[in-house]
Amino acid sequence: MKRIVLTGGGSGGHVLPLIAVADALPKLDVDLELIYMGPRDSYEAEFLKRDIRMSSIVSSKLRRYFSLSNIVDFPKFLVSLIQALCKLYVLMPDIVFSKGGPGALPVVLAAKFYMIPIVIHESDTVPGLTNKISGKLARKIAISFEESAAYFNGSKVTVSGNPVRAALMEEVPSKDVARERLGFDKTLPLIFVLGGSQGATRINQFIFDNFEPLLKEFQICHQVGAANFEDAKPVVMSLSKEMSSLYFSRYKIFGFMETEELKNALAAADIVFSRSGSASIFETAFFGKPSILVPLPEAAGDHQKMNAYAYAKTGAAIVIEGDNLKLDVVVIKIKDILNGPGTYSQMSAAAKGFAKPDAANVIAKEILSV
């Protein structure tokens, strides 16, 4: 039996692709034992329901800039490294697969100490600190965007794309069926505002500030993030009587979306309006939906901006940077996509051409070939 330790964490962008690969591995080799080693978080249940054993270590974040948080996190990093050394000594897996993020680097360093083969995956165009270090120690490196190959040893690199959960790609409903499930009109344009697993505060506020003009022209399915769900309440309370009826018929709000809800929202949408995390881009691409991307300016290494422009280069998306996030700009871009001669079909085809639905399987094969 081959034993594989999976590591990564910190956000859905790290954990959900890890889960997609965990689903793909047993389809290629049934004689496997999978163990997740990393911080305990809200995704723990996803591993447990797949009978993937949990081996928790302290979460710590290394920053490339000055922050008082480093004073706390560096001792935590040392603790997590000792934990990883002890736990890997007991487990002694055949392979460690890392998605990066808080908690992953101690496991990778401990694996290198024991000469355990390491495989990593980088989701973004610009790798984070964990994967920059891990890439020097890894046997094989899978990447989502061709642009990130410049940061690694090319002989180790495979362009796999970013894994999308199998459950999200299975039994995709038609646009009409998905709209019926979510309670939207089948004829009015529907914009899916996707904040990612943690939400996007400024995008949310843009929607709240422009409810009336937006809802008079479009329907909106809005994932605000679980932590931001309460922010909608004062906005709803302040709506005029006319807008209240439009709100209930044209606007649906979600905190964290379960897989089936996300699948329906992506299938139902005409356009996806979102940040430019890798997971959101590749999920949107699979569904062939044109995107309007608003990069998060604080993202490490400005990777969201780089992701957005790398994807927009294919013709599948339009980028609006933060200073240009204004109502008239957004409405014009939406109408250009919906009404421009051939624009919608061209963007949709570009999105589908960029998608890599077999990414999890490609990465799983790379892991098992070590």
CATH code where residue 310 lies: 3.40.50.2000
Same domain, 188 and 140: no
Domain that holds residue 189: 173-286+289-354
pLDDT confidence of residue 237: 66
Q: Name the pTM for this structure.
A: 0.90
Q: Are residues 258 and 334 in the same domain?
A: yes
Residues 215 and 123 in one domain: no
How far is the C-alpha of 281 from the C-alpha of 284, rounded, in Å?
5
111 in Cβ contact with 81 (< 8 Å)? no
* 344/316 Cα distance (integer angstroms): 9
- Considering its fold, how many domains does the chain have in total? 2
Same domain assignment for residues 188 and 255: yes
Over its C-alpha atoms, the chain yields an Rg (Å, rounded) of: 21
Sheet containing 157-159, strands listed edge to edge, beginning at the edge strand earlier in sequence: 53-56, 32-38, 2-7, 95-98, 118-122, 140-143, 157-159
| Residues 19 and 160 placed together within one structural domain of the fold | yes
Q: Over its length of 370 residues, how does the chain's per-residue pLDDT go in tens digits?
A: 899 999 987 666 778 889 999 999 999 988 999 999 988 776 778 888 898 999 888 876 665 555 555 566 678 889 889 999 999 999 999 999 999 887 899 999 999 999 999 999 999 999 988 999 999 999 999 999 999 999 999 999 999 999 999 999 999 999 999 999 999 999 999 999 987 655 578 888 898 889 889 999 999 999 987 777 677 667 666 766 666 776 778 998 888 888 999 999 999 999 999 999 999 999 999 999 999 999 987 666 678 899 999 999 999 999 999 889 999 999 999 999 999 889 999 999 999 999 999 999 999 999 999 9
Contact 277, 295 (CB under 8 A): no
Q: How far apart are CA 93 and CA 86, in angstroms?
A: 13
The DSSP secondary structure of 200-264, one letter per residue, reads -HHHHHHHHHTHHHHHTT-EEEEE--GGGGGGHHHHHHT--HHHHHHHHHHEEEESSPPHHHHHH
Q: Report the number of secondary-structure helices (H) and strands (E) in the chain.
A: 17, 13
Q: Is there a single domain that holds both residue 198 and residue 327?
A: yes
Tokens of 205: 């506020």
Model pLDDT, residue 70? 58
User: In terms of domains, do 229 and 256 share one?
Assistant: yes
Burial degree of 31 (CB within 10 A; 0-12, 13-18, 19+): exposed
Distance CA 84, CA 58 (A): 9
Same domain, 145 and 177: no
